[in-house]
A and B are shown apart, each in its own frame.
Chain A
Amino acid sequence: MEVFEAIKGRRSIRNFEDRPVGKEVLQRLIEAGIWAPSGGNAQTWRFIVITEKDMLKKMKMVSPGLLGNPPAVIVTCQDRKEAERKGGKLGVESVSVMDTAMAAQNIMLAAYALDLGACPIASFHKKGIQRLLRLPEEIFPQLLISVGYPKEVPNPLKRQTEGICFFEEYCG
């Protein structure tokens, strides 16, 4: 699939078919994630892939933004201890967070290329997810990505094009 086709065709999917996503497919998504750029090549992202129904149900209880019933959720985390060790304050507060976001976008584009739907979710209780998944304190969840086969694909949202990009000089 052509890159621009994926970038412009991807939508945030919140309604999924009741159909599981195979482990190999999910592994391919993670592969796409780990090929994202990483500041200082620190690669402090960590991914926890959840497909077990009971756990997904529990996660939904602490994740108001997790809508629909996705058959899989990728919990995209940063290893804060490693981020600090490798990148100092900048690493843990900024670079590592951006790295996980770039990995998440790769995952969602790859999902689209594989006929899957995905949605990034920031509305969840961080400590709640940490407790449910028994994550150590340094493994900090930044984004949930719901993954599944789309049941409904929303129309594209209008993109703002005016006043957001300036060449040579800011004229806002």
Chain B
Amino acid sequence: MDKASLEENTFELISYMIVSARNLLDEPSRYGPFRLVDAASRLVEILNRIGLRSERIEKIKSQIEVGKHSVMTSEEEFHGFLDSLVSSVIEEI
């Protein structure tokens, strides 16, 4: 990925995070954690595009992609997904 593409990808992520910050003032509170983990996943995508890969980061991204949509289905499930995600991160520290 060249510098211009990296800048563009990064700008997209920054926009997503800033607009989310504003919109979350008016949105359901559980959308906040969703946007945060989704932003983490988007950041990993950018890192992949510039060739930066690591097993532990990939593992966390996969876990996010599998569980993030539970925000729409079940509060309990979403809570469990976040707990398990945090455990995975702690294991990797």
Contact = CB atoms under 8 A, between A and B. Distances in A.
B12 A62 contact: no
Interface of B is mostly: helix
B12 A123 contact: no
Interface in A7-26: 12, 14
B22 interface: yes
Interface string A115-155: 00000000111001000000000000000000000000010
Contacts of B69: 14, 154
B29 interface: no
Interface residues of B, number: 14
Nearest to B20: A64
B19 A128 contact: yes
A57 B23 contact: no
Interface of B: 11-12, 15-16, 19-20, 22-23, 27, 31, 35, 69, 72-73
Interface of A: 12, 14, 57, 60-64, 123-125, 128, 154, 157
28 contacts: A12-B72, A14-B69, A57-B12, A60-B12, A60-B16, A61-B11, A61-B12, A61-B15, A61-B16, A61-B19, A62-B15, A62-B19, A64-B16, A64-B19, A64-B20, A64-B23, A64-B35, A123-B23, A123-B31, A124-B19, A124-B23, A125-B19, A125-B22, A128-B19, A154-B69, A154-B73, A157-B72, A157-B73
